[in-house]
Amino acid sequence: MRLPLLLTTALSAAFLAAAPVLFPAPAQAQEGKTFRYAYRVDPASLDPHALAETFTLSWLGQVYEPLVGRGKKLELVPALATTWEQPEPNVWRFHLREGVKFADGTPLTADDVVFSLQRVKKDGSDMAYTVASVTDIKKVDDLTVDLVMAKPNPILPVQITSTYIMSKAWAEKNGATAPASVKAKVENFASTNANGTGPFMIASRQAGVKTELVPNPNWWGEKSSNVDKVVFTPIQSDATRVAALLSGEVDMVYPVPQQDVARIEGNDGTKVIKGSELRTMMLAMDQHRDELQNSDAKGKNPLKDKRVRQAIYQAIDMNAIRDRIMGGTSHIAGTMIAPGINGYDPKLDDRAAPYDPEASKKLLAEAGYPNGFTFTMDCSNDRYVNDERICQAIVGMLGRVGLKVTLNAQTRSKFFEKVLSRDTSFAMIGWQPLSYDAHSTLQDTMNTPVEKVGTYNVGNYSNPKVDELTQKIEVEVDPAKRNAMIFEAMMLDKADYGHIPVHQAGLAWGVRKGVNVVQRSDDSLELKWVSVD
Whether residue 68 lies inside any domain: the answer is yes
Residues 216 and 308 grouped into a single domain: no
Residues 372 and 228 in one domain: no
Q: Are residues 115 and 229 in the same domain?
A: yes
Whether residue 221 lies inside any domain: the answer is: yes
CATH of the domain at 21: 3.40.190.10
Same domain, yes or no: 223 and 350: no
For residues 223 and 290, membership in a common domain is answered with no
Signed CA dihedral, 82, 88, 92, 98: sign only: negative
Residue 164, helix vs strand vs coil: coil
The answer to the question of residue 521 being in a domain is: no
Do 182 and 42 reside in the same domain of the chain?
Answer: yes
Q: Is residue 276 part of a domain?
A: no
Of 234, 251, 272, the one marking the end of a domain is 234
What is the extent of the structural domain holding 119? 6-234
Domain count, the chain: 2
CA atoms within 13 A on the CB side of 303: 31
pLDDT, averaged per 10 consecutive residues of the chain (533 residues), comes to 36 38 42 90 95 94 98 96 96 98 98 98 94 96 97 94 98 97 90 98 96 97 93 95 97 92 95 94 98 96 98 98 93 95 95 97 98 98 93 98 98 92 96 92 95 92 98 92 98 98 96 96 95 94
Residue that terminates a domain, selected from 234, 267, 292 = 234
Indicate whether 126 belongs to any domain.
yes
Residue 43: how many other CB atoms lie within 10 Å: 24
* pLDDT score, position 24: 44
Give domain status of residue 151, yes or no: yes
| Residue 369 resides in a domain | yes
One domain for residues 221 and 287: no
Residue 121 pLDDT? 96
Beta strands of 142-192 (E only): which ranges?
144-149
- Long-range contacts (CB closer than 8 Å, 24 or more residues apart) made by 445-449: 445/282, 445/336, 445/499, 446/336, 446/470, 446/489, 446/493, 446/498, 446/499, 449/422
Last residue of a domain, one of 234, 261, 291: 234
CA angle 281, 283, 286 (to 5 degrees): 150
* Residue 511 lies inside a defined structural domain of this protein: no
Secondary structure of the chain: what % helix, strand, coil (to 5)? 30, 25, 45
Q: What is the pLDDT of residue 477?
A: 86
Question: What whole-number distance in Å separates Cα of residue 444 and Cα of residue 53?
Answer: 13
| 341 plus 433 within the same structural domain | yes
Per-residue pLDDT, 31: 54
Q: Residue 103, CB half-sphere, CA atoms under 13 Å: how many?
A: 27
CA–CA dist 427, 410 (Å, integer): 12
Q: HEC profile for 320-345?
A: HHHHHHCCCCCEECCCCCCCCCECCC
Is there a single domain that holds both residue 53 and residue 132? yes
Same domain, 337 and 430: yes
Number of H helices, E strands in the chain: 16, 22
Considering the domain architecture, whether residues 212 and 156 belong to the same structural domain is answered as yes
Domain with 352 in it: what CATH number?
3.10.105.10
For the chain, give the number of residues.
533
Residues 108 and 206 in one domain: yes
